[in-house]
């Protein structure tokens, strides 16, 4: 582990560290977990804190940040639901960003990546693996509290609908964040990549105040990062049902 690098905290996410080099800007996360590295990323120490390089070629969230993503980024203390966590490459960085007081509920369906995720959770105390299908959020809804943010990287044809089902059930109210890594190649050949992205934006716009979508080329070919924050009154705990008198047709009302 090398020491003595000059990191600057990102303004909107204090645990995301920026390292300026003469030819490029690198992003690192202040780690919550223990070594060894998760996917071959670099580790370093500065001012008594351990950092891991947030590699844009391996993580779509990192690629989006490098390409100027202005949307929500996990912040310390928040709870995030991560759909499609696989072996935990990006999930471990999201866990770093929410810090030791935050939580990441990482949902994965495939057994072998999930076994690696469970092993990773031993070293990342705020990463909680859930073996489940993101298409059935009711199956794991009981295992977690409402969360501040949702990150989805599921590469399915109906990925936007899956995200909406999870967001409706599991996100807190106004201001909750949704970030979706869209893989347009998995969304069918009936439309172009641009049309798929536009459709996804239109669907998500009902729920969210969207931030500008970022195309992740050349780090991830054919991928886009879409997301924003929940609009007022579109999410949140169910309100008690108020019994109202039956509506009277307008003609009868007039007669009365």
> Taking the complex as a whole, how short is the minimal distance between the CB of residue 111 and another protein, in angstroms?
5
**Chain residues 137-166 in contact with another protein, contact rule CB under 8 A:** 138-146, 165
φ, ψ of residue 176 in degrees (nearest 5): -65, 150
Task: Choose the stretch contacting another protein; rule: CB under 8 A; options: 46-54, 67-75, 118-126, 202-210.
Answer: 118-126
**Chain residues 11-70 in contact with another protein, contact rule CB under 8 A:** none
Question: Interface with another protein includes 114 (CB under 8 A)?
Answer: yes
**Beta carbon nearer to another protein, 122 or 217:** 122
Q: Which of 88, 99, 129, 228 binds another protein (CB under 8 A)?
A: 129
> Taking the complex as a whole, how short is the minimal distance between the CB of residue 242 and another protein, in angstroms?
14
Q: What angle do CA 163, 73, 107 make, to 5 degrees?
A: 40
Size of the site for another protein (CB under 8 A): 29
Give the count of alpha carbons within 13 A of 54, CB side only.
29
Question: Interface with another protein includes 242 (CB under 8 A)?
Answer: no
> Taking the complex as a whole, how short is the minimal distance between the CB of residue 237 and another protein, in angstroms?
5
**DSSP bridge partners of 179:** 151, 227
What's the rounded Cα separation, in Å, for the pair 51 and 3? 10
What's the rounded Cα separation, in Å, for the pair 180 and 172? 17
**Beta carbon nearer to another protein, 51 or 140:** 140
Integer Rg of the chain from CA:
20
What's the rounded Cα separation, in Å, for the pair 171 and 147? 5
Which residues does 59 contact at the CB level (< 8 Å), separation at least 6? 89, 90, 93
Binding site for another protein (CB under 8 A): 79, 103, 105, 111-112, 114-115, 118, 121-122, 125, 128-131, 138-146, 165, 168-169, 237-238
């Amino acid at each position: 582990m090398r020491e003595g690098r000059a990191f600057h905290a990102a303004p909107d996410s204090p645990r995301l560290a920026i390292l300026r080099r003469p030819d490029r800007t690198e992003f690192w996360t202040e780690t919550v977990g223990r070594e060894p590295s998760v996917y071959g990323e670099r580790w370093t120490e500065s001012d008594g804190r351990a950092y891991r390089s947030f590699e844009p070629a391996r993580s779509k969230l990192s690629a989006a940040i490098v390409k100027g993503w202005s949307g929500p980024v996990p912040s310390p203390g928040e709870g995030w639901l991560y759909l499609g966590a696989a072996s935990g490459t990006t999930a471990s960085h999201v866990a770093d960003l929410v810090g030791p007081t935050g939580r990441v509920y990482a949902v994965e369906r495939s057994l072998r990546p999930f076994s690696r995720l469970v092993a990773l959770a031993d070293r990342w105390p705020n990463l909680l693996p859930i073996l489940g299908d993101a298409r059935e959020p009711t199956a794991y809804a009981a295992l977690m509290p409402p969360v501040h943010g949702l990150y989805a990287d599921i590469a399915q044809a109906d990925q936007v609908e899956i995200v909406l089902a999870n967001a409706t059930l599991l996100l807190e109210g106004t201001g909750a964040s949704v970030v979706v890594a869209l893989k347009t190649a998995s969304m069918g050949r009936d439309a172009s990549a641009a049309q798929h992205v536009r459709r996804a934006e239109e669907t998500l716009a009902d729920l969210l105040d969207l931030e500008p979508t970022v195309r992740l080329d050349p780090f991830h070919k054919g991928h886009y990062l879409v997301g924003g924050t929940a609009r007022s009154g579109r999410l949140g705990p169910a309100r008690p049902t108020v019994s109202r008198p039956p509506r009277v047709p307008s003609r009868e009302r007039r007669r009365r």
